[in-house]
Structure 1
Amino acid sequence: MNDTAAPPQDQTIVRAATVIVFRSGSEGVPEILMVQRSAQLSFAGAAVVFPGGKIAPADEKQAAGFPAIPTDEAAARIAGIREVLEETGLILATHEKAGAQAAIDARAMLMHDEDLAPVLDRFGWTLDLDQLVPFARWVPTFKPGRIFDTRFYLADLGSGRVDLTPDLGENTRLFWASAKQALDMIEMDEIKAIYPTRRNLERLARFASFAEAKEHALNTPMDPISPWVDGDMLRIPEGAGYPVTIAPLSQIRIS
């Protein structure tokens, strides 16, 4: 797909970023941070997703401070870091270690303004955008309406154990689970997931560590994933790292 082409008139493209945060599980299996969105939201209401959200104008402005990275890429990484802090209270990708109380205070600042720069200045933190590893980019242009052009990143906490809470606005719950556990929960109807989340969980379930997932991401083409309808099925391209590339439309939740 030529992702620079103008969208159809009945579509609006919204640029977004999301972060797949890993930590080492107690049994050696990597766990992933998931959040459950409020049922009141128009997009993915009540669904479980990876934390993230729209790229804000302030993210674009701050991206100019990272000339070694393309501006749209830097803005997406900054947005991912900011959204994770807003939604979960977790601070990612800073050169400096952040204490628990500082994280609480930083999150409170973001609740009033979608701008990470003043927060970094206030606490003396600097961003290390290389800590976010590009994993995927989804642009589901097969449907009309609002389309999210979403970049997915990997980040690693190692063996870190931190106390996190959902924002209780956009998200009502958060939890850690292995990719396989999350898929099992979907199958048992304990949680709901939209199509991109499920496909990414299937891909993540193949890896026994963050290092494996990172190596895979660095060696897999980052072409945008644009599903298309084929009869009563929805398909995604082969060769993009996904073990499942076709699913019945009747079993799919898009938004």
Structure 2
Amino acid sequence: METNELDADTWLAKTAQAATIVIFRRDTAGGPAQLLMVERNASLVFAGGATVFPGGRIDPADRVLAARLGGEPDDMAARIAAVRETLEETGLVVGIDGIVDGAIAAEARKMLLESGELAPVLDAFGWTLVPDRLVSFARWWPRQRAERIFDTRFFLADLGTGAVDITVDATENRHLFWASAAEALELAEQKKIKIIFPTRRNLERLARFDSFETARAHAVATPVGTISPYVEERDGQMWLMIPDGLGYPVRGEPVETALRG
């Protein structure tokens, strides 16, 4: 067992629930699907300066809306948070039925930033949330000692052709860009971006699929177990590892190279 793991009570007390969404779009040049990546401001306590997928903490208002919609409460709240955070951070509308164009999305984002809640935005624009458009992909819940611990559910979503505008939320992020999973990993190898341990493992997993459809089929067929990384000794070196059987082709790396957020 990892020596710096928290006891169960402290672990639970420090945990906040969060949601992250991997947004796909087709590459108009015919290459592998591209993913939306977000470079976080360096001043942030969690993953400052790192490049991640859009997402954030589940808010109380997300839980209120989840209770109204039904379903498993934590899962539904996470899907709502993923939709809300995506609109807040990027200006993209995902997971809804209704009329959307660039101007409407911009107005909806403005309203969301003012109210902080997704429910009044849905009502104002006549939108219906479609939670099943977000595909469950993974759940990461680290147990190491840290000021903030996030129990994060990862989802996949598709934008199709991706003919959309994105705008950075300058309060938390400083850059948005599209790249295939392999391209993002290459940027990290070249030290052009910084990626934390979960992001690297997820990019390695996603790099095996050229389209949203193939990634979705893999996600549907793969169990979503809770991933709590742990440390083990391998050939005299300490490695940060994740469990087997959850769809990841690379399960770890040396502790000295792993960025943990």
Shift of 1:168: 1.0
Cα distance change on mapping 1:160 and 1:144 into 2, 3 Å? closer
Moved over 3 A (4+): none
**d(CA) in 2 for partners of 1:220 and 1:9?**
27
Which residue of structure 1 lines up, in the alignment, with residue 93 of structure 2?
Answer: 91
Q: Is the 8 A contact 1:94 1:128 kept in 2?
A: yes
8 A contact 1:10–1:144 mirrored in 2: no
User: SS of the counterpart of 2:114?
Assistant: coil
Q: Look up the match of 1:190.
A: 192
Amino acid at match of 2:119: A
Shift of the alpha carbon at 1:102? 1.1
How many percent identity over aligned positions? 52
The structure carrying a bigger helix percent of its residues is 2
- Structure 2 length-normalised TM: 0.93
Q: Is the 8 A contact 2:11 2:143 kept in 1?
A: no
TM-score by length of structure 1 reads 0.95
Question: Which residue of structure 2 lines up, in the alignment, with residue 159 of structure 1?
Answer: 161
Name the structure 2 match of 1:168: 170
Q: Return the letter of the residue paired with 1:94.
A: I
**Worse overlay, 80-89 or 140-149:** 140-149
Matches within 5 A, 1:83-122: 83-122=85-124
The answer to whether residue 76 in structure 2 is matched with residue 64 in structure 1 is: no
1:167 Cα offset (Å): 0.8
Which amino acid letter does the alignment assign opposite residue 187 of structure 1? E
Q: How many equivalent pairs are there?
A: 250
Verify: 1:43 aligned to 2:46, yes or no. Answer: yes
Pair 1:111–1:236, CA change in 2 (3 A): same
User: Any conservation in 2 of the 1:10–1:145 contact (CA below 8 Å)?
Assistant: no
Residue type of the partner of 1:237?
A: P
Structure 1 residues 28 and 122: CA distance shift in structure 2, 3 A: same
Question: Distance in 2 between the 1:194 and 1:9 partners?
Answer: 20
Deviation string, structure 1 residues 119-149 (Cα, Å, up to 9, x no partner): 1111111111110000000001133432110
Q: Give the Cα–Cα distance (whole angstroms) in 2 for the partners of residues 97 and 206 of structure 1.
A: 34
What do residues 181-232 of structure 1 show as CA deviations (whole Å, max 9, x unaligned)?
A: 0000000000001110010000000111111111111111111011001142
Matched, 1:203 2:209: no
Distance 1:125 1:13 in 2: 32
What residue identity is the alignment partner of 1:85? Answer: L
Residue in structure 1 matching 2:248, options 219, 225, 242: 242
- The code of the aligned residue for 2:183 comes to Q
